[in-house]
Amino acid sequence: MTATAPRGTGAVTPGRGDGGPAPRRATIAARTLRTDRWWVQPLVTVVVLVLFIAYSSFRAFQNAYYHAEPYISPFYSPCITTRCEGDSFPEFFTGPAWISPALYILVLPLGIRLTCYYYRKAYYRSFWLSPPACAVAEPHRRYTGETRLPLVGQNVHRYFLYAALVFNVILFYEAVRGFRDETGEWGHMGLGTLVLLVNAVLLFLYSISCHSCRHIVGGRLNDFSEHPLRYRAWTWVSRLNARHMQYAWTSLFAVAFADFYVLLLATDTIQDVRFF
Element (H, E) at 216: helix 211-218
Q: Is the peptide bond before 139 cis (omega within 30 degrees of 0)?
A: no
pLDDT at 24 over 90: no
pLDDT at 19 over 60: no
Three state DSSP letters for 97-124: CCCCHHHHHHHHHHHHHHHCHHHHHHHH
pLDDT tens per residue across span 206-245: 999 999 999 999 888 888 888 999 999 999 999 999 999 9
251 near 206, Cβ under 8 Å? yes
Q: How confident is the model at residue 29 (pLDDT cuts 50, 70, 90)?
A: low
Phi, psi (5° rounding) for residue 267? -95, 5
Instruction: State the CB neighbour count (10 A cutoff) for residue 74.
Output: 29
Element (H, E) at 67: strand 67-68
Q: How confident is the model at residue 258 (pLDDT cuts 50, 70, 90)?
A: very high
Q: Where are the domains of the chain?
A: 40-138+151-266
270 class by beta-carbon count within 10 Å (0-12 exposed, 13-18 middle, 19+ buried): exposed
Query: What pLDDT, on a 0 to 100 scale, did the predictor assign at position 200?
Result: 97
Reported as half-sphere exposure (CB side, CA atoms, 13 A), residue 85 has a value of 16
Reported as half-sphere exposure (CB side, CA atoms, 13 A), residue 226 has a value of 4
Phi, psi (5° rounding) for residue 44? -60, -40
Query: What pLDDT, on a 0 to 100 scale, did the predictor assign at position 8?
Result: 45
77 near 101, Cβ under 8 Å? no
Distance CA 183, CA 193 (A): 15
pLDDT at 123 over 70: yes
Query: What pLDDT, on a 0 to 100 scale, did the predictor assign at position 12?
Result: 46
154 near 115, Cβ under 8 Å? yes
Q: What is the mean pLDDT of residues 261-271?
A: 96
pTM to 2 decimal places: 0.82
Q: Would you give the DSSP letter of residue 75?
A: G
Q: How confident is the model at residue 146 (pLDDT cuts 50, 70, 90)?
A: confident
pLDDT at 17 over 60: no
Q: Is 12 left (phi over 0), alpha (psi -120 to 50) or beta?
A: beta
Q: Is the peptide bond before 6 cis (omega within 30 degrees of 0)?
A: no
Q: How confident is the model at residue 172 (pLDDT cuts 50, 70, 90)?
A: very high
Chain-wide mean pLDDT for the chain? Answer: 85
